[in-house]
Chains A and B, each alone.
Chain A
């Protein structure tokens, strides 16, 4: 790992000031992606600004159907929250299958979303749940937030402080994990809102990162059942192809995971 300078931020404002004073700074929360990346010398921030101890970014609040998850909340906390499980078990299930128990004790929802790894799980949940990404400057709809591979709408020094969404009437997430890394080779989050709106988000498969599957959304709006997806053939031209799975295989996985998710919801 190249040299870096560590800072522990005491508040969101403190973190922003330290970032603005830094040369090539990066925020770190759980660090479960960033520290391994730095160890491989694929990232070399001059300064690391630690957000893990900022109290205003912690915790889960469920108020009726409305959910707020602080950005520094760990995967373990999301997976084991009884309040969250009561209104949206799908996101707890998703969190309980990220990495391994030790990674879940450190990794955070804000970090996962800000990194926007094309095979990460949370971006699919955010899109399907029509979540709002709350930053220190503004609120961004999930639809406008994820802009490409590892790319988001975040500006320099902007920090995700929380995510918000309304609990869905029905939702589920199913993924086909890469047998070695356990990252989603394809993961599909389906959700039906209290207002009847159906959203289907796919991760791990798109060559431009997480995306919504409009054809499936239309089919499930008309008939919420796995059978409603039977006639859909997923276009493979915009999908990732690698040694683990080519685009045609992923196209099939999108359909299979979507059907399983609807069945599980």
Chain B
């Protein structure tokens, strides 16, 4: 058994789990944060994407013990004070989902992608950056639209702030 302590969505949490426990299991079962999904469970689909120390990672392919001491953001940690994050709002406005199962991973991926590209994205880049996220409703078109809309808004806000 390992005692794992980490900061999740701004809150310090700890729990006991097997050394072999996956981070996604720890998040869902120990912490009760079930917004992070398990899709393929083989590092391909991206439904489990979270941010670890500010970078998007697949939480089904990392042990909770490997993540001990890190700072984690899950889909539950995006909305501040009941206001949707701009990426969440853009997914809603553009209907960037069908069944919604892949959506938490898509949104976490989009936030990371927009941060790395500082809001400067075009359609080809977004589609290439979605390499690690699979939507089995095949609703990529509106996902791409939502990400571009969010990037324009967030990139615009960044320029205005500078």
Q: Is the CB of B62 within 8 A of A31?
A: yes
Q: Is the CB of A102 within 8 A of B46?
A: yes
For residue B145, CB closer than 8 A to chain A, the reply is no
- Main secondary structure, interface of A, reads mixed
CB-nearest residue of chain A to B51: A105
Q: Is the CB of B63 within 8 A of A106?
A: no
| Contacts of B26-82 to chain A: CB distance below 8 A | 41-43, 46, 49, 52, 55-58, 61-63, 65-66, 68
Q: Is the CB of A3 within 8 A of B18?
A: yes
Q: Is the CB of A101 within 8 A of B56?
A: yes
Q: Is the CB of B132 within 8 A of A31?
A: no
How many chain B residues touch A (CB < 8 A): the figure is: 29
Q: Is the CB of B55 within 8 A of A36?
A: no
Q: Which residues of A contact B42 (CB under 8 A)?
A: 36, 39-40
For residue B131, CB closer than 8 A to chain A, the reply is yes
How many chain A residues touch B (CB < 8 A): the figure is: 27
If A32-B43, A52-B66 touch, does A105 touch B132 (CB 8 Å cutoff)?
A: no
- Give the distance in Å from the alpha carbon of A226 to the alpha carbon of B161 in the complex: 49
Output the least CB separation between A262 and chain B (Å). Answer: 24
Q: Which residues of B contact A39 (CB under 8 A)?
A: 22, 41-42, 61
Q: Which residues of A contact B153 (CB under 8 A)?
A: none
Q: Is the CB of B19 within 8 A of A99?
A: no
Q: Which residues of A contact B61 (CB under 8 A)?
A: 31-32, 35-36, 39, 106
- Which B positions have Cβ atoms within 8 angstroms of A? 2, 18-20, 22, 41-43, 46, 49, 52, 55-58, 61-63, 65-66, 68, 109, 112-113, 116, 129, 131-133
Supply 6 A–B pairs (Cβ within 8 Å), ascending by A: A6-B63, A28-B66, A76-B55, A101-B129, A103-B132, A182-B131
Seed contacts A4-B20, A31-B61, A102-B132; 9 additional CB < 8 Å A-B pairs: A1-B22, A8-B68, A36-B61, A39-B22, A39-B61, A52-B66, A100-B132, A102-B109, A106-B62
